[in-house]
Amino acid sequence: MNNCPQCNTAVSEESKECPHCGIFFSKWKERDDNISSGNTSRYAALDKATSSGFNWTILVIVCLVIVGILYYLSQQAE
């Protein structure tokens, strides 16, 4: 028996994926090998896409939608 590297669930040695979290062990090993060799270019876009920084684009879009709705409602009231 082995443990899943992501969720630490016990899995059989023949398993190709974790029954609990669903990761594929071959992909996890490939990712670990790339990271340990310094080849992280493949994962740079993923890091940027999941950054915890504030997303100003979404805030601006939401504000524009709210302003548009308020403008529309004010025109309907007249």
Q: What is the pLDDT of residue 43?
A: 65
CB 11 within 8 A of CB 3: yes
Average pLDDT value for residue range 11-38:
86
Q: What is the pLDDT of residue 69?
A: 96
Q: How many angstroms separate the CA atoms of 48 and 50, rounded?
A: 5
CB 20 within 8 A of CB 29: no
Q: How many angstroms separate the CA atoms of 25 and 14, rounded?
A: 10
Q: What is the pLDDT of residue 45?
A: 59
Average pLDDT value for residue range 19-29:
87
Rg (CA), the chain: 23
**Token pair for 20:** 């609990």
Between 57 and 48, whose confidence is greater? Answer: 57
Average pLDDT, the chain: 83
Q: Quick check: 48 pLDDT over 70?
A: no
